[in-house]
Amino acid sequence: KAGVTQTPRYLIKTRGQQVTLSCSPISGHRSVSWYQQTPGQGLQFLFEYFSETQRNKGNFPGRFSGRQFSNSRSEMNVSTLELGDSALYLCASSVTGESTDTQYFGPGTRLTVL
């Protein structure tokens, strides 16, 4: 079974631009979560989607948004990019999103903001 895929793998943007990242979950998984990884803050939860609905949201500004499609694929968008948004963005999928469920991670999208 194919794993979680994320596109693109690398992105370079400038301040003020916006960016869209894509995530395709493992087949049959309905929950998709997004995490930001930085050297200073570590791994932080952004949001989680299940059946096209956002169920949970982390403590990030409104510039960070996401959505999920009927095939469970998910996108996240960051508007008005800031230097501090440079990070590895990881997507994870699980069958149900419940606490006992394993989240499987993709390879990440490395975003650099200049």
Per CB under 8 A, residues contacting other proteins are 4, 33, 35, 42-43, 45, 48, 55-56, 58, 90, 92, 97-108
In degrees, rounded to 5, the angle at the alpha carbon of residue 107 between the alpha carbons of residues 105 and 111 is: 115
Nearer to other proteins, 9 or 15 (CB): 9
First to last CA, the chain: 37
Residue 16, exposed/middle/buried by CB under 10 A (0-12, 13-18, 19+)? exposed
Least gap, CB of 68 to other proteins (angstroms):
15
Report in angstroms how near the CB of residue 99 gets to other proteins at its nearest.
4
Task: Return the number of the residue (85 or 94) whose C-beta is nearest other proteins.
Answer: 94
